[in-house]
């Protein structure tokens, strides 16, 4: 099984750590249990130079000196006006080799600067992006990123569209997969009939060097052989996708409506009762993902489209340890426990998904074991995130088990 995180950023992106180099990315991907990682930011000249120096191409998969798997990946920010409204949409690009990447860099370099940020900004449309990439190579894959995020996504409440067709028009046929983002899961996306024919994928969108962020969302591939052709065929619906690992959408930074400067968080119905206005300061609320899904949904929850993939919702292990110990997630105390668990059980996904209860109880504090098992079974409660604030894990033993539709 290939566990892939194909949307990350390196040290040349804004608000990232200088420690986000290839060595550390590989190290923490292995600790997490991820065995295929996007390179991030191949449009940045300094990062691309490093990729070419450190990684070797093998059938479209880049290999580190230790044999770890990367795939050429970048993210593009588009800010433009369409139908008299400013649109802000992020798209993920996957490329088959350095030759194609060089052509992408050449074309994009003529439309704007590439050296100031790993995620460059351009003023052309999603339609033009597809046209440019298709002219370079039909093997370039474009995946709309975190499709519900309010500020920078295809369905975003502040700058998005109401349909993929509106955003990509006749080029929609070249879009095959959509990234759900942290604040939504597949079950929420299943409420829109227009998304039935698209593969729903999940990746971390890693920006910071906090190692628990890598692989916090991932996509599972079942490929006869790992190469770029098989990977892209899977993303295009030709077999090979097995499902996704998600965080509970309440954990995401934009699940509920709210105004973080006033500490106001509201459900969609509560926000509507207040005309989407902050009750403290009177300014407009940031409309969250759940609200936006409700606006565009054309079927009730509980429906699973034919051929949809299963998914598993998990809160990262470090978050669980932090909550059990009542200690900050970046503290030595938390990471001391975390590292001992990894030493004993190999990687985080193994601990979260596969290690038997009996083996856990032999080696792990009883309270932590109970939380790990409740995490597996969907029994943990998350106070929803809002307006850029992550959701908060609450350990409440009275919360009943509520599995989500389609979980495996």
**Tokens linked to 45:** 């000249």
Rounded Cα–Cα distance for residues 388 and 261 (Å): 10
Task: Output the CA torsion sign for 110, 112, 115, 121.
Answer: negative
Q: What is the dihedral of CA 89, 92, 97, 100, to 10 degrees?
A: -10
**Tokens linked to 9:** 């950023």
Q: Is the pLDDT of residue 102 over 80?
A: yes
Longest dimension (CA), the chain: 62
State the span(s) of the chain assigned CATH 3.20.20.140. Answer: 2-251
- Calculate the alpha carbon distances from 339 to 48, 53, 335, 354 in Å: 32, 31, 6, 18
**H helix or E strand, kind and range, residue 313:** strand 311-313
Residue 32: Cβ-neighbour burial (10 angstroms; 0-12, 13-18, 19+): buried
> What does the chain come to in residues?
408
Task: Band the pLDDT of 288: cuts 50, 70, 90.
Answer: very high
pLDDT (0 to 100) of residue 304: 94
Q: Tell me the per-residue pLDDT of 185-212, one tens digit each, with 9 for 90 and over.
A: 999 999 999 999 999 999 999 988 777 7
Residue 138: Cβ-neighbour burial (10 angstroms; 0-12, 13-18, 19+): exposed
pLDDT (0 to 100) of residue 397: 53
Rounded Cα–Cα distance for residues 207 and 204 (Å): 9
Q: Tell me the per-residue pLDDT of 16-75, one tens digit each, with 9 for 90 and over.
A: 778 889 999 999 999 999 999 999 999 999 999 999 999 999 999 999 999 999 999 999
Task: Band the pLDDT of 15: cuts 50, 70, 90.
Answer: confident
Residue 381's CB: how many other CB atoms inside 10 A?
18
Q: What is the dihedral of CA 162, 167, 172, 177, to 10 degrees?
A: -70
Rounded Cα–Cα distance for residues 243 and 186 (Å): 10
- Calculate the alpha carbon distances from 184 to 65, 223, 231, 311, 401 in Å: 36, 26, 24, 12, 20
List 381's β-bridge partners, or say none. Answer: 394
Mean pLDDT throughout 344-365?
95
Q: Is the pLDDT of residue 296 over 90?
A: yes
**H helix or E strand, kind and range, residue 293:** helix 289-296
Angle at 248 between CA 200 and CA 76, to 5 degrees: 45
Q: Is the pLDDT of residue 79 over 60?
A: yes
CATH topology of domain 2-251: TIM Barrel (3.20.20)
Q: Tell me the per-residue pLDDT of 159-184, one tens digit each, with 9 for 90 and over.
A: 999 999 999 999 999 999 999 999 99
Q: Tell me the per-residue pLDDT of 213-252, one tens digit each, with 9 for 90 and over.
A: 899 999 999 999 999 999 999 999 999 999 999 999 999 9
DSSP state of 352: I
**Tokens linked to 396:** 């409440």
Rounded Cα–Cα distance for residues 131 and 136 (Å): 9
**H helix or E strand, kind and range, residue 74:** strand 69-82
At how many degrees (to 10) do helices 98-109 and 126-136 cross?
Answer: 140
């Amino acid at each position: 099984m290939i566990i892939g995180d194909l949307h990350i950023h390196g040290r040349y992106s804004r608000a990232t750590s200088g420690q986000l180099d290839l060595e550390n990315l590989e190290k923490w991907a292995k600790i997490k249990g991820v065995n295929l990682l996007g390179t991030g930011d191949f449009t940045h000249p300094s990062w691309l130079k490093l990729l070419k120096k450190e990684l070797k191409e093998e059938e479209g998969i880049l290999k580190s000196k230790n044999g770890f798997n990367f795939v050429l990946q970048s993210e593009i920010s588009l800010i433009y006006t369409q139908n008299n409204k400013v649109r802000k949409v992020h798209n993920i690009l996957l490329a088959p080799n350095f030759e194609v990447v060089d052509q992408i860099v050449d074309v994009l370099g003529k439309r704007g600067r590439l050296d100031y940020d790993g995620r460059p900004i351009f003023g052309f449309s999603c339609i033009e992006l597809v046209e440019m990439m298709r002219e370079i190579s039909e093997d370039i894959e474009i995946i709309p990123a975190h499709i519900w995020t309010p500020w920078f996504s295809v369905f975003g409440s502040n700058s998005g569209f109401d349909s993929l067709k509106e955003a990509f028009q006749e080029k929609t046929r070249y879009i095959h997969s959509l990234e759900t983002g942290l604040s939504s899961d597949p079950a929420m996306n299943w409420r829109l009939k227009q998304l039935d024919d698209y593969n729903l994928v999940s990746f971390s969108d890693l920006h910071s060097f906090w190692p628990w962020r890598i692989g916090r969302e991932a996509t599972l591939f079942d490929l006869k052989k790992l190469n770029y052709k098989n990977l892209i065929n899977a993303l295009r619906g030709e077999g090979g996708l097995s499902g996704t690992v998600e965080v509970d959408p309440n954990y995401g930074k934009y699940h509920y409506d709210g105004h973080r400067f006033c500490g106001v968080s509201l459900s969609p119905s509560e926000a509507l009762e207040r005309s989407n206005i902050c009750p403290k300061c009177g300014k407009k609320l940031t409309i969250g993902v759940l609200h936006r899904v409700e606006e565009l949904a054309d079927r009730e929850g509980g429906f699973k489209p034919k051929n949809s993939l299963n998914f598993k919702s998990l809160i990262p292990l470090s978050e669980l340890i932090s909550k059990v110990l009542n200690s900050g997630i970046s503290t030595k105390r938390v990471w001391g426990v975390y590292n001992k668990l990894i030493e004993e059980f190999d990687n985080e996904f193994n601990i979260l998904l596969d290690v038997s209860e009996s083996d856990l109880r032999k080696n792990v504090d009883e309270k932590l074991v109970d939380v790990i098992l409740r995490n597996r079974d969907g029994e943990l409660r998350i106070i929803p995130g809002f307006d850029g604030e992550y959701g908060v894990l609450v350990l409440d033993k009275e919360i009943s088990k509520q599995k989500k539709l389609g979980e495996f």
